Amino acid sequence: MAVFTRARLTTSEVPSTVTPIGESARLDTHGVCAWFSGRLVLESVSLTMERSVVTALIGPSGCGKSTFLRILNRMHELVPGAQLAGSVELDGLDIYGGGLRATDTRRHIGMVFQKPNPFPAMTIEENVLSGLKFSRIKLSNDGRRQLVEEMLTKAGLWHEVKDRLGELGGSLSGGQQQRLCIARALAVRPRVLLMDEPCSALDPTSTNRIEETIRDIAEEVTVVIVTHNMQQAQRVSQYCAFFLAAEGQPGRVIEFGETERMFSDPADPRTSDYVHGRFG
């Protein structure tokens, strides 16, 4: 029966529970649309986020950038009344196609949120390792220590917390918490990392450190970052997609291309208006 064959796909075709080791992947979207309770909020977005490239999604608020981002790791469907259309392909495999479970998709495509959300009941070390717990990946004690050190170093937090790994996750400052969340997301070695305005609630020093992290990890993880800060987009990304929603219309991608080009010589007048700060 077809219904049984489809279920089998998970165990044989795609290595759903094995962590891929640091191989960045490419995300292709074709005609992605999103609805909330019947209202169309995002229309026909077809973008390619190349492997090992940092792609920034920019545009004024309310244009569907975050919605689009959440479609990429199957978080959109958690909202009651949310629907989507189109396809999202991770290195050619449609994540909505039934071959990959949502929980597995999220292990391949990680996310860092706007408001830092470390688990307050867990220590810093447990926070970093929590993703592994969900995937039931077992490491030796040494392996765990190594992983924690590696991830916290990548996130730029190691030196500040190496002596207090046993403290609770909630005891850090905002910037430190966000870096902890980045370390946590990286610990499962995702192939893509989605970042939803990760620095908007942080001070400039933390923002700086996180942008450094993004540059450091870009080779091994494809990064897609939503940002309101155009200078940040210029600093960290190689490619940029400009989203816009006209009055009463769903959000669309107006322009997509190399960041330098988008800012110095945008093709669409609306892009030009936005990057030059004439509206926001």
Amino acid present at 160: E
Q: Which stretch binds another protein (CB under 8 A): 75-83, 149-157, 160-168, 230-238?
A: 75-83
Q: Quote the CA–CA distance of 217 and 200 in Å, as a whole number.
A: 20
Residue 243 falls in which region: left (phi positive, over 0), alpha (psi -120 to 50) or beta: beta
> Amino acid identity, residue 215?
R
Cβ of residue 209: shortest distance to another protein, in angstroms? 20
Residue found under tokens 């609805």? 35
Which residues on adjacent β-strands are paired with residue 34?
42, 84
Q: How far is the CB of 258 from another protein (least distance, A)?
A: 6
* Window 87-116: residues binding another protein (CB under 8 A): 87, 96, 98, 101-104, 106-107, 110-111, 113, 115
Partners of 90 in beta bridges: 27, 93
DSSP string covering 58-88: E-STTSSHHHHHHHHTT-GGGSTTEEEEEEE
Strands 27-36 and 109-112, sheet pairing: unpaired
Provide, rounded to whole angstroms, the least separation between the CB of residue 275 and another protein.
Answer: 13
Q: Mask of contacts with another protein, 184-223, x by CB under 8 A?
A: xx--x-----------------------------------
Which contiguous run of DSSP H or E holds residue 5? helix 2-12
The interface with another protein within residues 26-45 (CB under 8 A) comprises 26, 28, 30-31, 33, 35, 40, 43-44
Q: Which is nearer to another protein, 21 or 78 (CB)?
A: 78
Nearer to another protein, 125 or 208 (CB): 125
Which residues ranging from 131 to 160 are in contact with another protein (CB under 8 A)? 131, 133-136
Nearer of residues 102 and 215 to another protein, judged by Cβ: 102
Task: Based on the shown chain and the rule CB under 8 A, indicate whether residue 64 belongs to the binding site for another protein.
Answer: no
